[in-house]
Structure 1
């Protein structure tokens, strides 16, 4: 199957970069269940498992992590 590649659409996914960034922001701001409930209310059909998977796939550098111990 051949598909056209767009720069605003993630490859092999059903979400755009912008939507995934919004979901990541919601998931980091709240817990998975609350973010999923909020997404359902505003019309984004996303489950908490998907949000948790998105959080685990996000790379966080040690320099900007607030949980990094100094010493």
Structure 2
């Protein structure tokens, strides 16, 4: 039977999971701030241009993609 010796101990795993979770939380907070800022600008208007909506969605996508890559890279 092959013995695996490269596994991190439990405290190392807790630190890794904690750092990954914090990166995800920060990204979600940043996305929420962008959403709130975007909504503030359009609440009193009846029409919103498609380019404004597209810009907001692109900003959110870039934040979430960055968070995903950080989680995958771990």
Q: Structure 2 length as normaliser, TM-score? A: 0.30
More helix as a share of residues: 2
Bigger Cα Rg: 2
Return the structure number with greater relative CO, CA threshold 8 A, min gap 6: 2
Q: Structure 1 length as normaliser, TM-score? A: 0.31
